[in-house]
Amino acid sequence: MPVCVAKYPWGGEFTPEMSAKKWEQNIADKIRNMTEDEFDLFLASVVMQASKDQVMGILLTEKVSFFRGLRD
């Protein structure tokens, strides 16, 4: 599970046993229910964790695009 998800109070709802499809649907529901400000903070946490993990460039763009796509 991405660290950016685990840090949220609702992160405990996501278990390693969840299928990828169920995980994606549940995270999409959480993201859609966020305000714009909450989503911006969420994306900031994704970027900060990516920086710690030394993920940059196209991989970081793909992560951000993935979460933005779930919001639509």
Residue 30 lies in a domain: no
Residue 3 has pLDDT above 80, yes or no: no
Residue 41 lies in a domain: yes
Residue 7 lies in a domain: no
Residue 68 has pLDDT above 80, yes or no: yes
Residue 69 has pLDDT above 90, yes or no: yes
CA-to-CA distance for 37 and 56, rounded, in angstroms? 23
Domain count of the fold of the chain: 1
Query: Which amino acid appears at position 33 of this protein?
Result: N
Spatial CA neighbour of 9 closest among 44, 50, 42: 42
Residue 42 lies in a domain: yes
Spatial CA neighbour of 59 closest among 70, 69, 50, 49: 50
pLDDT digits (tens, 9 = 90+) for 6-65: 777 888 888 878 888 988 898 899 999 999 999 999 999 889 888 888 988 999 999 899
Residue 12 lies in a domain: no
Residue 25 lies in a domain: no
The whole domain housing 57 covers 36-72
Residue 1 has pLDDT above 60, yes or no: no
CA-to-CA distance for 47 and 13, rounded, in angstroms? 22
CA-to-CA distance for 50 and 62, rounded, in angstroms? 11
